[in-house]
Amino acid sequence: MEPISEIDPILGGKVNFIRLGESGAIPPDASRRRFLLGGGAAVAAGFASLLVPGLLRTPRVESNQHFPPTNIPSKGDQPPLPPTATAEPTKPPVKEVKLTNELLKPFVEQAYRKRAERERNDPEYSKRVDKELSDNTVNAVLWVYWEEHGESYANYGGSPTVISYDLKTGKIRSVSLSRDIRTPNLEKRQSDGRVQTMYMRHVYREGKFDQVREVVEEATGLAIDYQMVIKDTVIRDLLDKVGPLDVQVQKDHLTGPFKLGGQEYGPKLIKAGPQQMDTLTAMRFILAEDENPDGKQDERSYRKNVLVKALLKKLQSKVKENYFFVKELYDLMQTEIDQGMMQPDFDRNLLSVGMGNLGNLFTIGLSGLGLAKELLLNRSNVDTTIPEADPQKEIIIHDPYWGDGGVNRAHNIVNFQHVRGMQVESIRDEAQNGFLPQHMLIPDGGDPYTSDRVNKYWQSIRKLVKNKLLGRGEPSTTVTSSIQ
């Protein structure tokens, strides 16, 4: 292959190409390296090139297509034919390309390969994972951790949120599990015969990714394909990147003190109504507890969902305005991973492959460059839609006063007969005798000492998740509560 250089008048700068042979094949590894190292006009042209299916094959154009004959005399005594119009070269059609699909393609393919492997190698997998619920989805656990209640970043105290992408509807569903849920997977009997109760917030610290996958699959029935541990400062950096968010605040929030990045911030009022939130206000909105909590709108998981909607809307706007912004987000993510602020349980090269589907710097022929320019100038061919969150399928696993139910506070088991009646005898006794912290959340009817946690401990949460995500909604019991 012979290198060629050209000064590009639209993209600007010097662009290097390689004239393709008949096969048009480019070694993918070399292309990926060029993409990661490339910049300026070369990145722009390469990024656009893969947005057009089949662009790597340079179309063969015969000379008479470019220069059709005119004024050719006929045989015999016939007069010459009238001049014919010069035909325009035939251009390959530019097909619509969905950025999200190209980014997710390698993740979807690997997710289903890994599921098959786990089903073959783990005899408990098919028991934990509800196939009906998990089919046609790709699911990731985001374990966001922060500092509060005496815990430092080293404790990894946080909670898991399952982001479930529905491949049929193209929408995002979510399941947030409260950090206060009792988690018997971690519990061990002590020398005095008693069991030290453990919380959901301890799962990653105690057992890392394997333990998180086991617990979340048991609790929800969703196959967990990917996991990412995220320090709260990553969210701060992302908000800095995208700029202020337009957030509709449902009610006044007098927020208490909170910590971020090792720095303490004092109380402050966030007023109801439309707000343009800067980074610090947005972080306060999702991290700081309400000083006067009074229902679901004060629960931080709900506030987080409100902020996520505003963030998705802002990202949609930024990408529509400039779809190279996706590359900036990719670079930010790679930086956060390099610095240990984000820890994925998957090969980070998948991120590069996803970006490569959008625009690995494949070298292209000169006639292909014109098509790349056309795509850059005609953005209607690129669907930049970012998946929306489905508001009907956002689940907060928390006491019914603060969330969607499936669990109840220990103090409610003591104080309310109908809640007490849901529980097994061992839980009633532990709650009544003060062995359980008041704020600890217990799945309704769950027996923490069973050997069959899927069916006899987590069953209330699994039922709630399945009913809501599959549109078989079932109302939860409302319980008066005085402790958040």
pLDDT in tens, 429-475: 999 999 999 999 999 999 999 999 999 999 999 999 999 999 986 55
Q: Six-digit token pair at 479?
A: 């319980």
pLDDT by residue (tens digit) across 371-423?
444 445 555 556 667 788 898 999 999 999 899 999 999 999 999 988 988 89
Q: Six-digit token pair at 309?
A: 């909607």
Q: Which of 355, 358, 356, 304 is nearest to 332 (CA)?
A: 355
Could you tell me if 389 and 171 are in contact, meaning their C-beta atoms sit under 8 angstroms apart? yes
- Judged against a pLDDT cut of 80, whether residue 244 lies above it is answered with yes
List CB contacts of 395: < 8 A, sequence separation 6 or more: 173, 174, 175, 176, 404, 464, 465, 468, 469
Q: Which of 184-193, 202-211, 257-266 comes out lowest in average pLDDT? A: 184-193
Q: How far apart are CA 212 and CA 145, in angstroms?
A: 14
The model's confidence at residue 87, banded by pLDDT at 50, 70 and 90, is low
Q: How far apart are CA 8 and CA 40, in angstroms?
A: 12
DSSP string, 413-473: HHH-HHHHTTS-HHHHHHHHTT-S-TT-EEETT--TT-S-HHHHTSHHHHHHHHHHHTT--
Q: Which of 51, 68, 55 is nearest to 24 (CA)?
A: 55
Alpha helices, H only, 322-424: 325-338, 349-359, 366-377, 410-415, 417-420
Could you tell me if 255 and 267 are in contact, meaning their C-beta atoms sit under 8 angstroms apart? yes
The model's confidence at residue 150, banded by pLDDT at 50, 70 and 90, is confident
DSSP state of 50: T
Q: Hey, how many other C-beta atoms are within 10 angstroms of the C-beta on 482? A: 11
- Rounded to a whole number of angstroms, the distance between the first and last alpha carbons of the chain is 67
DSSP state of 405: B
Question: ∠407-413-419 over CA atoms, to 5°?
Answer: 70
Backbone angles phi, psi at 246, to 5 degrees: -90, 110
The model's confidence at residue 364, banded by pLDDT at 50, 70 and 90, is very low
What is the pLDDT of the chain when averaged over all its residues? 78
pTM of the predicted model as reported, rounded to 2 decimal places: 0.74
- Mean pLDDT confidence for 32-46: 35
Could you tell me if 44 and 376 are in contact, meaning their C-beta atoms sit under 8 angstroms apart? yes
Could you tell me if 428 and 413 are in contact, meaning their C-beta atoms sit under 8 angstroms apart? yes
Could you tell me if 160 and 248 are in contact, meaning their C-beta atoms sit under 8 angstroms apart? no
List CB contacts of 438: < 8 A, sequence separation 6 or more: 409, 410, 411, 483
Could you tell me if 163 and 140 are in contact, meaning their C-beta atoms sit under 8 angstroms apart? yes
Q: Hey, how many other C-beta atoms are within 10 angstroms of the C-beta on 203? A: 27
Q: How far apart are CA 286 and CA 245, in angstroms?
A: 13
* Percentage of residues of the chain with pLDDT beyond 90: 54
User: Which residue's structure tokens are 């707000």?
Assistant: 275
